[in-house]
Amino acid sequence: MVRMTEIDPGSARHLLDKDCPPFENQPWVSGPPLTERRVAIITSAGLHRREDRNFDLGDLSYRVIPGDVRLDDLVMTQASVNYDRTGFQQDINVVFPLDRLREMAGAGEIGSIASFHYAFNGAGQLAAAFEPTAREVGRLLKEDGVTAAILVPV
Q: What is the pLDDT of residues 66-85, one digit of tens each?
A: 999 999 999 888 766 666 66
Q: Answer whether 152's CB lies under 8 Å from 96's CB.
A: yes
Q: In whole numbers, what is the pLDDT of the chain averaged over residues?
A: 87
Q: What is the pLDDT of residues 3-53, one digit of tens each?
A: 888 888 988 888 788 777 777 777 677 889 999 999 999 998 889 999 999
Angstrom distance (rounded) from CA 59 to CA 13: 23
Annotated domain spans of the chain: 36-152
**Residue 120: count of CB within 10 angstroms of its CB:** 25
Q: Answer whether 74's CB lies under 8 Å from 49's CB.
A: yes
